[in-house]
Amino acid sequence: MRFFKSLQWRLVFIFIAMDICVIIPISLLLKFQVETSYYEAFKEDIERGSQAWNIKPGSSLHDIMYDLSLEGNKNVYLFNIYSKNKTYTIYDKSTNTMMSTDKRFEMNQDKFELEVLNSSNFVSALAGNPGNRRNMMRSDGEAFFDYALLKGDFIIYFRYYSDDWAGIIEEFNNIILNVAFIAVIASLIIGYILSKTITIPIADIMQKARAIAEGEFGRVLEVRSDDEIGDLTKTFNYMSSELKNTLIEISSEKSKIETILKNMTDGIIAFNIKGEIIHINPAAKVILGENELSMNFNEFSDKYGLNISLEDIIYLQISTAEEKSVFINDKYIRIYFATFTDDNKKAEGVIAVLQDVTEMQKLDNMRKEFVANVSHEMRTPLTSIKSYAETLLDGAYKDSETAVKFLTVINSEADRMTRLVKDLLQLSRLDNHQMQWNMQQFSFTELVRNSIVKLQIEAENKNQKIESYIMGDIPEIKGDRDRIEQVVLNILTNAIKYTPEGGKITVYVSRIFNDVTLKVADTGIGIPRKDLSRIFERFYRVDKARSREMGGTGLGLSIAKEIVEAHGGTITAESELGKGTEITVKLPI
Ligand code: ADP
């Protein structure tokens, strides 16, 4: 059925309908023309005969009959009525009665008379007018023309039956039927072929449109003609290429956004209007510690105690981003919610941006702790300076021995503060990258040896033995000699400080791959495992009181770490409580 609905078949049907539209009028016209020519001849015969017929006034029916009969009418064809399809009947005009009739009507005379009385031509002749109007009439299924001729006191009523020309019309109809048949067949063939020139490009375009809908752009359509179909093909090709470009643009935009989402450190979760998750990026999964997240918005809000529902965000039209802070898996997470809308500004869903602010929070805490530490470290010496000075002012200065003792304490506390301030300044310079590095080539081995010499007395005071081993040929390194010395001295000082009397300190210098390595091992008090990772933090001390007693600020190792790292090296510590500590410094050659 679809086949017959196709454009191709419709075109064929139009052709055939056109054939029929032409053939039917032609056949009707032909029929009319044939009838007319027969009628005209019939009429002419009668009128010519009437002119040639000199009828004497007062002629009787007998005279008329005689004139019309074969003997009376020398010219046999007076009205040319001697044919089996022609009849004539004579009426008396004054009495309107039929005087003679044709054999044809003998059987059905009453009916015939009634028909004659109803003939407009007869009525016209009766009124003295010509009865020569062309009327095709019917009686008992037979068609005929009639003619009523007024002659003297009589009316001669002629009839001409269509049987005379019916054969010709039938012949014509046969011809027309044959022609129509040929025309329909030709229309079928020509219409089919012609319509193909229209439908093939359309089918091509249709196929291509279908391919495009499936996302396949493929080849460009061939423009076969310079007509509307050609224009359509061109327009279609243009549309397809534009569509392709737009799609490429959209997909590149999409992949850009996907890449951004994938590599963002912030977590992104998109929920649709029903609250279902439609997108979640890897960072969000890491933050939430989940591989797959299959929950809706309100479950998500409940699970992480966000105390916010999808309806709150969408229906209350929270235009500015709503912010929540929560702890998830020991991390401090800040979550921002924002709605996204369609073209009509109608909310389509919610986007949650998850920001891990743990580090920020940590830094903030560290900053606060640092300020607290600094104030605390400053307050201790200041308090003791203040109290000794007050005691001196209260009169203690009079006893010179006490005065000297107190002043010595004040001096050493002032030194301690100076050290602290010096260390803080150095750290601040390192933090702000304002350190002036005096880079030079120097021998690391020599630096270590000199440092040991500098601290020899200190060690001997504690009855400690320092052994050093230089392993292999150690190349020179490049760096700030004074700062590296500061590091080495700090490590050695710590080793002496935190090793009891009679302990042993071993120093190794070696080259491992592209690094020179310094290892300082002591047999001291060691560092508890839990503190080991924190000794490089600022102000971190395992035993605060003890360190302070020994004059430490708690900043030495943190400064050492900054210096070593600024040289591209590393500093690490290993220790066993009660057995000893080993600090390792690696510096690139
Ligand atoms: P301090 O000025 O207190 O020595 P440091 O930054 O140099 O500060 O060291 C930090 C902390 O590390 C010390 O307070 C101490 O507890 C610990 N520490 C450092 N070196 C050693 C060591 N060799 N043996 C034991 N503990 C050590």
pLDDT digits (tens, 9 = 90+) for 349-375: 999 999 999 989 889 988 898 899 889
Residue 486 to residue 227: CA distance in whole angstroms: 92
CB distance 532 to ligand 1 below 6 Å: no
**Which residue's C-alpha comes closest to atom 19 of ligand 1?**
494
Residues 196, 204 contacting (CB under 8 angstroms): no
Beta-sheet strands, E only, within 15-93: 86-92
Asked whether 430 and 562 are in contact (CB, 8 A), the reply is: yes
Report whether 339 contacts 318 (CB < 8 A): yes
Mean pLDDT value across residues 515-521:
96
**For residues 286 and 292, which has the higher predicted lDDT (pLDDT)?**
286
Q: 305 CB contacts (<8 Å, ≥6 apart)?
A: 326
Q: Which fold has domain 362-432?
A: Helix Hairpins (1.10.287)
Q: How far apart are CA 187 and CA 17, in angstroms?
A: 10
From 486, 489, 498, 581, the mutation candidate for ligand 1 (largest count of ligand atoms within 8 A of CB) is: 498
Atom of ligand 1 nearest to the CA of 542: 16
pLDDT band at 568 (very low <50, low <70, confident <90, very high): very high
Distance 534 CA to ligand 1 centre (A): 10
492 lines ligand 1 (CB under 6 A): no
Query: What is the structure's pLDDT at 56?
Result: 76
Residue 105 confidence (pLDDT): 80
Report residue 562 as tokens.
Answer: 């900054």
Choose among 348, 355, 418, 346: nearest CA to 381.
Answer: 418
Please, what is the Cα angle at 283 between 315 and 365, to 5 degrees?
90
Q: Which pLDDT score, from 0 to 100, does residue 517 have?
A: 96
Instruction: Please name the CATH architecture into which domain 7-168 falls.
Output: 2-Layer Sandwich (3.30)
What's the rounded Cα separation, in Å, for the pair 518 and 58? 170
Report how far ligand 1's centroid is from the alpha carbon of 175 (Å). 127
Which mutation among 535, 579, 583 tests ligand 1's pocket best, with the greatest number of atoms within 8 A of CB?
535
- Residue 133 pLDDT: 92
Given a cut of 70, whether residue 425 has pLDDT beyond it is yes
- Range(s) for CATH 1.10.287.130 in the chain? 362-432
The CB of 520 under 6 Å from ligand 1? The reply is no
145 Cα distance to chain centroid? 81
Q: Is 354 in the pocket of ligand 1 (CB under 6 A)?
A: no
Please report the pLDDT score of residue 221 as a whole number.
81
pLDDT (mean) for 208-223? 83
Provide the pLDDT for residue 67.
78
Ligand 1 near 535 CB (within 6 A):
yes
Q: Are 478 and 439 in contact (CB under 8 A)?
A: yes
Q: What angle do CA 164, 100, 138 make, to 5 degrees?
A: 40
Q: Which amino acid is at 533?
A: S
Please report the pLDDT score of residue 438 as a whole number: 93
**106, 107, 137, 109: which is closest to 122 by C-alpha?**
137
The alpha-helical segments, DSSP class H, found in 325-443 are 358-393, 400-431
Q: Which residues of 17-49 are buried (b: 16+ CB within 10 A; e: fewer)?
A: eebeeebeeebeebbeebbeebbeebbebbeeb
Regarding the beta carbon of 503 and ligand 1, being less than 6 Å apart is answered no
In the chain, which segments carry CATH 3.30.565.10?
Answer: 439-588
Average pLDDT, integer, range 259-286: 91
User: How crowded is residue 307: how many other Cβ atoms within 10 Å of its Cβ?
Assistant: 10
The residue that leads in pLDDT, 198 or 269, is 269
Task: Kindly give the pairing relationship between strand 86-92 and strand 154-161.
Answer: antiparallel
Axis-axis angle for helices 228-263, 163-213 (nearest 10) = 20
The answer to whether 537 touches 521, Cβ cutoff 8 Å, is no
Model confidence at 82, pLDDT cuts 50, 70, 90, reads confident
DSSP-derived 3-state class of residue 51: helix
Higher-confidence residue: 443 or 221?
Answer: 443
- What is the value of pTM for the model shown? 0.51
Q: Is the CB of 527 under 6 A from ligand 1?
A: yes
Q: What is the CATH number of domain 439-588?
A: 3.30.565.10
Residue 320's pLDDT is 61
Cα dihedral 336/339/340/344 (nearest 10): -160
Residue 98's pLDDT band (cuts 50, 70, 90): confident
Residue 124: which pLDDT band, with cuts at 50, 70 and 90?
very high
* Comparison of pLDDT for 506 and 2, the residue scoring more: 506
Could you tell me the distance, in angstroms and rounded to a whole number, from the CA of residue 554 to the centre of ligand 1? Answer: 7
As a whole number, mean pLDDT of residues 253-257 equals 94
Reported as a single tens digit per residue, the pLDDT across 361-414 is: 889 988 898 899 889 888 988 999 999 999 999 988 899 999 999 999 999 999
3 state DSSP class of 200: helix
Instruction: Give Cβ neighbours of residue 176 (< 8 Å, ≥ 6 apart).
Output: 23, 26, 27, 30
Give the pairing of strands 504-512 and 570-576: unpaired
With a 6 Å cutoff on the Cβ, whether 521 touches ligand 1 is no
Q: What is the pLDDT of residue 536?
A: 94
**For position 459, what pLDDT does the model report?**
94
Interval 102-119 mean pLDDT = 85
pLDDT value for 366: 85
Given a cut of 70, whether residue 80 has pLDDT beyond it is yes
Using alpha carbons, select from 186, 141, 165 the residue that is nearest to residue 23: 186
Per-residue model confidence (pLDDT) at position 62: 83
- What average pLDDT does the chain have? 89
Alpha helices in 269-357 (DSSP H): 282-288, 297-303, 310-315
Indicate if the pLDDT at residue 1 is higher than 80. Answer: no
DSSP 537: S
Banded model confidence at residue 3, pLDDT cuts 50, 70, 90: low
Q: Are strands 142-151 and 154-161 parallel, antiparallel or unpaired?
A: antiparallel
Question: What top-level class would CATH report for the domain 260-350?
Answer: alpha beta
Nearest atom of ligand 1 to the alpha carbon of 546: 14
- E-strand spans in 78-153? 86-92, 97-100, 137-139, 142-151
Say how far apart CA 458 and CA 363 lie, in whole Å.
Answer: 38
Task: Please compute the mean of the pLDDT values over residues 302-317 and round it to a whole number.
Answer: 81
pLDDT digit string, tens, across residues 20-69: 999 999 999 999 999 999 999 999 988 888 888 877 777 788 888 877 77
Q: Which ranges in 119-162 belong to alpha helices (H)?
A: 120-126
Share of the chain above pLDDT 90, in %: 51
The pLDDT, as a whole number, for residue 318 is: 56
pLDDT band at 187 (very low <50, low <70, confident <90, very high): confident
pLDDT band (50, 70, 90) for residue 217? confident
What whole-number distance in Å separates Cα of residue 272 and Cα of residue 295? 12
Q: Which residue has better confidence, 528 or 223?
A: 528
| Total residues found in the chain within this entry | 589
| pLDDT over 90 at 546, yes or no | no
Q: pLDDT band at 509, cuts 50/70/90?
A: very high
Per-residue confidence (pLDDT) for residue 74, from 0 to 100:
56
CA separation for the pair 47, 40 (Å, rounded): 10
Tally Cβ neighbours within 10 Å of residue 493: 19
User: 150 by DSSP, 3-state: which?
Assistant: strand
